[in-house]
Amino acid sequence: MILLTRKADFSAAHFYWIDEWSEEENVRAFGLCANRNGHGHNYTLEVTVAGEVDPISGFVVDLKALKEIMEREVVGVYDHRHLNHEIADFKTTLPTTENIAIAVWKRLEGKIPGAKLHRVRVYEMPDLFADYMGEL
Amino acid sequence: MKAYLGRRYHFVASHRLHTDAYDAARNRDVYGKCNNPYGHGHNYTIEVVMSGPVDAKTGMVCDMAELDAFAGKNVLAVFDHMNLNTLKVFEHQVPTAENLCIEVYNIFKGFSDARLERVRVEETNNNSFEYAGE
C-alpha cells in the first residue's frame, strides 16, 4: 500500500457562536473567534488516499481526477464563502477546523476511483491543523 | 551606519469587496468571487521595514520590543479577528489589500523610533502588496 497526498487552498470566513449560550459564555469559550461579524482564513486542504501502485501506469490514483473531485466537492463549494451563513455542512455544527475536516471527509468518501480515502487534513493556519481518518 | 530592520506580523480577518459606486452586475464583474455577499477571509501577513543608524551602544536600529508593542496596539488589536468592512477606516473605501497596505503604512508612520521604509501585505501565498509612501 502507498499513500498519496494532494493539496488545495481555499479562503473563507467563519465565526464561533452557540445560540444557547450567553454572550459571556461564548466569549469565554471562543475569545476573538466569537466576533459575529466573522473573520477568515486561508485554508489548506490535504487529501491523502491509499492504494496499490498500478504496475503499468505507476500511479496509485488518477491525479487529474482527484484534483477535479477536490475542486468540485470542496474548493468550489467553500472558496470565498462564509462557512456559517452559506454552507449547509455547518448548519448544526460550528465550522471549527475539526468539523471542517470531518465535513470534507464526508464530501469525498467513496468518490475517489481506484483508491481509498485515508486522511483529510485541514490547515486553518500554518501552525494549526486537524486530521480526520474516518471512524477507526 | 544605516541599516534596515524587517519584522513580520500576522492577523486573520474577513472582508467583502464591494463599492456602492457600481451596480450589482459591475461589482460582480470587477470583484468576482470576492464580491460574494457574506464575505470570505484570509490569514494576512504584514511585513514592515524600518531603517535608521545602528545605535553604537545597543547595536540596534530600534528596540524590537517597542516595535512589537506598537504593532500589537495599533495594528493587530485593530484588525485581528475583524470583518474589515465594519471598521471605520473602511467606511468610505473598499478593504482591498492595496487599501489595507496604505492604511497599515500610515499607522506605522506613527512609530517614531525609526524611519518607516515600506509595508508589505501578503493576503495569500500568491498575492502581496507593497507601499512605500508617495
Residue A121, number of CB atoms within 10 A of its CB: 19
User: pLDDT digit string (tens) for B12-47?
Assistant: 999 999 999 999 999 999 999 999 999 999 999 999
pLDDT at B58: 86
Cell numbers given for B130: 507593497
- Number of domains making up chain A: 1
Nearest CA in chain B to A79: B40
Mean pLDDT of B81-108: 97
How far is the C-alpha of A42 from the C-alpha of B128, rounded, in Å? 14
Distance CA A127, CA A49 (A): 23
- Range B1-6 average pLDDT: 92
Residue B98's pLDDT is: 96
pLDDT higher than 80, residue A136:
no
pLDDT over 70 for what percent of chain A?
A: 100
Q: What is the pLDDT of residue B82?
A: 98
B81 and A32 in contact by Cβ < 8 A? yes
The boundaries of the domain holding residue A82 are 2-132
Q: What mean pLDDT comes out for the span B52-58?
A: 91
- Sequence length of chain A is 136
DSSP 8-state symbol, B127? -
pLDDT (mean) for B91-99: 96
pLDDT digits (tens, 9 = 90+) for A36-94: 999 999 999 999 999 999 888 889 999 999 999 999 999 999 999 999 999 999 999 99
The H or E element containing residue A30 is helix A23-30
Model pLDDT, residue B131: 95
Neighbours of A134 (CB within 10 A): 13
Q: Do A9 and B34 lie within an 8 Å CB cutoff?
A: no
DSSP A94: -
Residue A98 pLDDT class (50, 70, 90 cuts) = very high
Q: What is the pLDDT of residue A83?
A: 98
pLDDT at A58: 86
Task: For chain B, give the mean pLDDT.
Answer: 96
Sorting pLDDT into bands at 50, 70 and 90, what band is B95?
Answer: very high
**Which amino acid appears at position B47 of this protein?**
E
For this structure, is B123 an active site residue? yes
Q: Is A109 helix (H, G, I), strand (E, B) or coil?
A: coil
pTM: 0.87
Whether B81 is catalytic: yes
Contacts of B125 in chain A (CB under 8 A): 9, 42
CATH classification of the domain holding A120: 3.30.479.10
Q: Residue B48 pLDDT > 80, yes or no? A: yes
User: Is it the case that residue B118 has pLDDT exceeding 90?
Assistant: yes
Contact B80 A82 (CB under 8 A): no
- With an 8 Å Cβ cutoff, are A13 and B41 in contact? yes
Q: How many Å apart are CA B56 and CA A61, to the nearest integer?
A: 61
Residues A104, A43, B47, CA angle at the centre, nearest 5°? Answer: 175
B40 catalytic residue (yes or no): no
Of B10, B40, B80, the CB nearest to A80: B40
Note which residues in 100-119 of chain B have CB less than 8 A from chain A.
none
Residues B27, A6: Cα–Cα separation, whole Å: 34
Residues 85-124 of A with CB under 8 A from B: 85-86
Q: What are phi and psi of A126, to 5 degrees?
A: -60, -25
Residue B108: all three cell numbers together: 506605522
Superfamily of domain B2-131, CATH level 4: 6-pyruvoyl tetrahydropterin synthase/QueD (3.30.479.10)
So what's the pLDDT on residue A100? 97
pLDDT on residue B73: 98
Give the ipTM: 0.80
Give the model's pLDDT for residue A49: 95
- What cell numbers appear for A18 in the block? 452557540
Print the SS3 string covering B70-117.
Answer: HHHHHHHHHHCCEEHHHCHHHCCCCCCHHHHHHHHHHHHCCCCCCEEE
Q: Delimit the domains of chain B by residue range.
A: 2-131
Check: CB of residue B12 under 8 Å from CB of residue A41: yes
Interface residue B39 vs chain A (CB under 8 A): yes
* Nearest chain A residue to B124, by CA: A42
Q: Are B51 and B115 in contact (CB under 8 A)?
A: yes
